[in-house]
């Protein structure tokens, strides 16, 4: 009798239909423009099947072909979540042995992007008319974003550059491949060596590091397996009632080591852009969640977090330049897409007012000066984001002094934050949220009343 009941329960659970896949992210075209600039989504750490450890380690076939199913998961994700730019960053193996034109990931139906006749990127023409742009790149000890060619004609010479993080390798990627060079996994890097390398771009969060037990223990000094149990809830979900797109709220955490490193580089006089590293591989959980997609599906990951880049033009070179200039908001977009973002400085004199954008220099002589931030709301025009419960949102203006010590100098929970006559130093904004509006999506409803970092701006530097 007990056995029969047990079998009946198993059959009942297996008969439960999948819950629908969550709506994709709204196109950034809905977010408007400010002073002739607009936001685009840019992923700056992403692995195609050409990485040795992508696609459950089965992305690259011995005959040189790649796992098309895994590639198509990625392209579907970029279309579904309206990702404007994806800077693919594949490992030394296998990109060093692959012809550069293959790394562009062009297929029938795509549009090849060329420069002087050579392929440098790919446009994915989505079914809804949206266009997602991808560009090849590297993750070795350095990230090479938007590479336009290999640094050398032969594989041995390429590997010698791609495998190290020397100043010579950085220069080679910049000059020979026209790449924007960034530092991945800064949690594992020595600050003094980074200062010597003088990067213009670093990661201030990495999803892989957040979860990997070895990295958590060695570099983040956290319990290595503290977050592993989270996923059991979404795998053992017999009624298919849980929404795996929100499981990140059980494990997401920021570590001070990233901000201490960033602050140290700024105090050394460097201008350094901070980016969020998605580091999506499709190689962690092949098991499926309640929506019928694997837990680490590229669609789920690209919905979680993005870099929102402020740019005037929608081409690879312009977006690379905007990233290097610090015009980036790192956003945990799974909490909601921000509407109304705007961080800027003003200089006012008898001649009028000059506006300085995020990433810029507010050079004060005798003018009146101020910093301003428009506190965003959550885009609510798709299912679920129009809950009767509203999120609590507030902003903190963080000041980094010349010694690399940060402090909160202004806070606001209204519609805007302003700070007059700022002392010399670097300023960024951190937006926090209690996501009450997501209560209905969560396995642990208490998370709806907890505080999460939603947005981290880049800096405006003030001199006097």
CB 289 within 8 A of CB 234: yes
Cβ-based neighbour number of residue 460 at 10 Å = 25
Domain ranges of the chain: 32-331, 341-464
Judged on CB neighbours under 10 Å (0-12, 13-18, 19+), 280 is buried
Q: How far apart are CA 30 and CA 309, in angstroms?
A: 15
Q: For 341-464, CATH number?
A: 2.60.40
Per-residue pLDDT tens, the chain, 464 aa: give them. Answer: 434 433 333 334 444 568 889 999 999 999 999 999 999 999 999 999 999 999 999 998 888 789 999 999 999 999 999 999 999 999 999 999 999 999 999 999 999 999 999 999 999 999 999 999 999 999 999 999 999 999 999 999 999 999 999 999 999 999 999 999 999 999 999 999 999 999 999 999 999 999 889 999 999 999 988 877 788 889 888 888 899 999 999 999 999 999 999 999 999 999 999 999 999 999 988 899 999 999 999 999 999 999 999 999 999 999 999 999 999 999 999 999 999 999 999 999 999 999 999 999 999 999 999 999 999 999 987 655 567 899 999 999 999 999 999 999 999 999 999 999 999 999 999 999 999 999 999 999 999 999 999 999 999 999 99
Q: For residue 36, report the phi and psi dihedrals to the nearest 5 degrees.
A: 80, 5
Query: SS3 sequence, the chain?
Result: CHHHHHHHHHHHHHHCCCCCCCCCCCCHHHHCEECCEEEEEEEEEECCCCCCCCHHHCCECCCCCECHHHHHHHHHHHHHCCCCEEEECEEHHHHCCCCHHHHCCCCCCCEEEEECCEEEEEEEECCCCCEEEEECCEECCCEEECCCCCCCCCHHHHHHHHCCCCHHHHHHHHHHCCCEEEECCHHHCCHHHHHHHCCCEEEEEEHHHHHCHHHHHHCCCCCCCCCCCHHHHHHCCCCCCCCHHHHHHHCCCCCHHHHHHHHHHHHCCCCCEEEEECCECCCCCCCECCCCCECCCHHHHHHHCEEEEEECCCCHHHHHHHHHCCCEEEECHHHCCEECCEEEEEEEECCEEEEEECCCEEECCCCEEEEEEECCEECCCCCCCCCCCCCEEEEEEEEECCCCCEEEEEEECCCEEEEECCCCEEEEEEEEEECHHHHHHCCCHHHHHCCEEEEEECCEEEEC
CATH fold of 32-331 reads TIM Barrel (3.20.20)
Q: What is the pTM of this model?
A: 0.94
């Amino acid at each position: 009798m007990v056995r029969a009941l047990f079998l009946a329960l198993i059959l009942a659970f297996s008969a439960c239909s999948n819950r629908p896949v969550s709506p994709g992210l709204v196109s950034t075209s809905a977010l408007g423009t400010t002073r002739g600039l607009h936001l685009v989504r840019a992923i700056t750490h992403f692995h195609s099947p050409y990485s040795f450890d992508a696609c459950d380690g089965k992305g690259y076939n011995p005959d040189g072909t790649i796992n098309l199913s895994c590639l198509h998961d990625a392209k579907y994700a970029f279309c579904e979540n309206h990702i404007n730019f994806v800077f693919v960053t594949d490992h030394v193996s296998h990109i060093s042995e692959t012809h550069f034109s293959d790394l562009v990931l062009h297929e029938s139906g795509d549009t090849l992007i060329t420069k002087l006749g050579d392929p440098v990127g790919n446009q994915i023409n989505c079914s809804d008319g949206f266009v997602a742009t991808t560009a090849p790149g590297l993750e070795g000890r350095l990230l090479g974003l938007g590479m336009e060619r290999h640094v050398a004609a032969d594989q041995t010479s390429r590997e010698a550059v791609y495998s190290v993080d020397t100043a010579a390798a950085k220069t080679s990627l910049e000059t020979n491949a026209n790449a924007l060079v960034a530092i991945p996994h800064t949690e594992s890097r020595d600050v003094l060596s980074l200062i010597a390398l003088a990067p213009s771009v670093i990661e201030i969060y990495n999803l892989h590091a957040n979860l990997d037990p070895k990295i958590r223990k060695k570099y983040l000094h956290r319990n290595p397996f503290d977050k592993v149990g989270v996923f059991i809830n979404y795998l053992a979900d017999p009624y298919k009632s849980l929404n795996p797109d929100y499981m990140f709220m059980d494990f997401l955490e920021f570590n001070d080591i990233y901000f201490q490193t960033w602050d140290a580089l700024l105090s050394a006089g460097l201008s350094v852009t901070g980016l969020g590293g998605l580091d999506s591989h499709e190689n962690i959980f092949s098991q499926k969640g309640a929506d019928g997609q694997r837990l680490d599906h590229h669609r789920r990951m690209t919905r979680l977090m993005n870099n929102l880049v402020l740019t005037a033009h929608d081409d690879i070179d312009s977006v690379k330049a905007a990233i290097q200039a610090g015009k980036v908001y790192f956003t945990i977009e799974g909490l909601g897409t921000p509407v109304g973002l705007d961080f800027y400085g003003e200089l006012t004199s008898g001649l009028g007012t000059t506006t300085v954008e995020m990433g810029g220099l507010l050079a004060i002589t005798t003018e009146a000066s101020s910093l301003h931030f428009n506190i965003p709301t959550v885009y609510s025009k798709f299912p679920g984001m129009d809950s009767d419960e509203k999120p609590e949102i507030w902003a903190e203006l963080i000041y980094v002094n010349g010694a690399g010590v940060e402090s909160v100098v202004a806070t606001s929970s209204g519609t805007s934050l302003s700070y007059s006559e700022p002392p010399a130093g670097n300023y960024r904004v951190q937006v926090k949220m209690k996501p009450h509006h997501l209560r209905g999506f969560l396995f642990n409803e208490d998370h709806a009343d907890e505080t999460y970092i939603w947005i981290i701006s880049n800096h405006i530097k003030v001199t006097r």
